[in-house]
Structure 1
């Protein structure tokens, strides 16, 4: 088979809370009748992102075309999870015309791109492009290094010391593998911040990789799909901090689930999450919660001090209304204190 006969796949990578799921949902809603499938990777035990996508009700991407991988980081479970999931989509009587793969915020994209050279799938699929979604407002706030100036001074004083921040490595690896960078949440930045962040990203990227500034993940499907990068054949131009490692792990990060009660009002929960985030090393909070007397469930997504919420769909008949939140943070955070602060 030629590359033209292969099913194109777009890998959507990006740091925690950058807006990957929002972007994927936008793609589904504007597919123009194109038959799509989505593979979404969760870091944690609750399928929040997959559930958000499944609630779209979009004809071109039915619920059974959204596959959730929740057994760990997609780049670490290629053989056990990703390749079988991809094959199951390709083996359907009416296979998808394009597959969108949303990685977890902690995944490194390059090992996933390498997987497309596995004999079982190499002749059937190609990486149409790697799209890195960046939370512009978070980057403007310096979220990927505790003190960049201090790190620079320490490196200058002793080149043998390794002062890399793991969060920054993940972020840079995602940029270095990208064919397109989507600078999301541009509306939350000043013109000066926007120029600064774009400039910093440009220092990492090859000149051929473009940066698109957007709000709420709204990028034209014609821009995202059809890049024709064949990234699996172009690995050498996608350097990684982890190229010399056989495998990588996520020992720098931790995740757990909190069961939360019904709340009288959304702001009550938002205040609790904000307080917990301010007191602990929380990177990301996401989940669904019941608001007393409301027929619809509340979707909550928090990144740092920014906590968004909306009623996304009605509770289904017979569906458990137990609220659950996934909390992701740096290793060693106090689970019980966070649980008590949020759930009471």
Structure 2
């Protein structure tokens, strides 16, 4: 962080960076990179998961980075932060600010299904505004997924459908979530460019620019590798700039996540991880699953296998050894649009 960025922050306030982005866009990988390059700056994390199994928190707690100890990583599972401000968010912030050694910067990773603007509004709550400021909202975009059209519908086609039958609601909830994240952002990271052609990068960048009514910088990244000095110290004071961040849900008293389902799937140890990933790909395509993530036990292996999938793209790696006395097994969070056939998905994977 440059000295000019530090001096431009409101005096006495701890800066907060909100990292938003769709499921599997690369938020956790980006945060891990920030932690690895903190250069002695004391950080704290608040991670808001969708689903009861805290995959992202587990990944980050295993970093062993001195500037962000495990007690500075707070997980708020299975609830939207902006919907549970009084019950969950404020107590988590109070706990962090009550430590003898306060964090110098707080990073919030939202759920992939979260709308960031209501969370920014939460910083107007008594007791928060005087001590915290939203330094910036960073939207991480899965460039390859957007290029494939998975999270970006054709607005022209939608308009034609509405004109043909105005009695129908053709709103796409995934599209609204995606656009709301872009509209609230102070900086957009077009991630996974290694999976995109130059033409796809240009097309996605152009579409994003047309969506946002104000000038927002778009940076291209691969696996979230970017200098943290470009992310921390934006001094946006987003809580004072809400009017410039339009949302599909402006004027609503609140919102819910009834458009999505999630469940936890428990499976025995894997005999063949490669074959299992193949089954995950087949099931993700057959049931239009958005996200699968979790940990797996591999028979005869002392290491835990981390599995992360977006659509039909999956990654796997052994992240650490199983701890003595730690329950082993395979547990996955499965996330999709409302109406997931949990029984059929479980049967296919078992």
Superposition TM-score, scaled by structure 2 size: 0.95
Alignment of 1:169-248 (within 5 A): 169-248=176-255
Structure 2 distance, partners of 1:149, 1:260, is 44
1:294 aligns with 2:301: yes
1:51-90 Cα distance to aligned partner (Å, 9 max, x none): 0000111111111010000141112111110111011101
1:201-244 Cα distance to aligned partner (Å, 9 max, x none): 11112442110000001111000100000000110000000012
Structure 2 distance, partners of 1:47, 1:201, is 31
What residue is the counterpart of 2:133 in the other structure? Answer: 126
Structure 1 distance, partners of 2:131, 2:243, is 22
Deviation at 1:149? 5.2
Structure 2 distance, partners of 1:116, 1:146, is 32
Among 309, 317, 324, the alignment partner of 2:324 is: 317
Structure 2 distance, partners of 1:152, 1:219, is 38
Among 273, 285, 304, the alignment partner of 1:266 is: 273
What residue is the counterpart of 2:171 in the other structure? Answer: 164
1:232-258 Cα distance to aligned partner (Å, 9 max, x none): 011000000001210101111000000
Give the number of equivalent residue pairs.
342
Alignment of 1:1-344 (within 5 A): 3-145=10-152, 150-157=157-164, 161-342=168-349, 344=350
1:160-218 Cα distance to aligned partner (Å, 9 max, x none): 75321000000000000000000000000011111101110111124421100000011
Deviation at 1:331? 0.5
* Preserved contact between residue 144 and residue 165 of structure 1 (Cα < 8 Å): no
1:80-125 Cα distance to aligned partner (Å, 9 max, x none): 1011101110111111000000000010000100000101211000
Structure 2 distance, partners of 1:194, 1:285, is 26
* Preserved contact between residue 153 and residue 175 of structure 2 (Cα < 8 Å): no
Structure 1 distance, partners of 2:202, 2:239, is 32
* Preserved contact between residue 181 and residue 210 of structure 1 (Cα < 8 Å): yes
Structure 2 distance, partners of 1:230, 1:29, is 26
SS at 1:247's partner residue? coil
Superposition TM-score, scaled by structure 1 size: 0.96
Which ranges of structure 1 fall in alignment gaps of 5 or more residues?
A: none
Deviates more, 1:156-165 or 1:257-266: 156-165
SS at 1:31's partner residue? coil
* Preserved contact between residue 275 and residue 341 of structure 1 (Cα < 8 Å): no
Deviation at 1:293? 1.5
Deviation at 1:294? 1.4
Structure 2 distance, partners of 1:106, 1:74, is 11
SS at 2:124's partner residue? coil
* Preserved contact between residue 134 and residue 181 of structure 1 (Cα < 8 Å): yes
